[in-house]
């Protein structure tokens, strides 16, 4: 069963596709997140921001994530109410390394879930 909410993506551009997930609530982010698509990612994050409880950002189909997009995801996790988390799943190993290297793995509200096998 596909956990996506509805048949249509929340965001669809030539480079980026973002689907809203129901169970667990969150987003599946596919394609490329770079300077050209940051505003679309911000829009999708704003849509799910009011959701109560924990959120999941599923990134296993992400082809590229620049540092600005990564910073946006980390900042979003830091804005969650106390006790509520954003879990990044399907994260590429090199991105997990960057997160740990700069200390973002200690961000309140952030959880690093299962990583993507490369």
Cα separation, 19 vs 27, whole angstroms: 6
Cα separation, 85 vs 23, whole angstroms: 15
CATH fourth-level superfamily of 11-112 = STAS domain (3.30.750.24)
Q: Residue 59: which of 70, 48, 46, 50 has the closest Cα? A: 70
| pLDDT tens column, 39-96 | 999 999 999 999 999 999 999 999 999 999 999 999 999 999 888 999 999 999 999 9
For the entire predicted model, the pTM comes to 0.90
Cα separation, 117 vs 95, whole angstroms: 12
Q: Residue 32: which of 55, 3, 12 has the closest Cα? A: 12
Domain boundaries, the chain: 11-112
């Amino acid at each position: 069963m596909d956990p996506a909410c509805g048949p249509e993506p929340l965001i669809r551009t030539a480079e980026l596709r973002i689907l809203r997930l129901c169970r667990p609530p969150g987003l599946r982010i596919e394609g490329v997140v770079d300077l050209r698509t940051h505003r679309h990612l911000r829009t999708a994050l704003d849509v799910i921001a009011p959701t109560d409880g924990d959120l999941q950002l599923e990134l296993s189909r992400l082809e590229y994530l620049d540092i600005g997009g990564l910073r946006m995801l980390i900042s979003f996790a830091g804005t969650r109410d106390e006790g509520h988390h954003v879990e990044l799943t399907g994260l590429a190993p090199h991105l997990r390394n960057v997160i740990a290297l700069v200390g973002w793995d200690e961000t309140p509200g952030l959880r690093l879930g299962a990583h993507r096998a490369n």
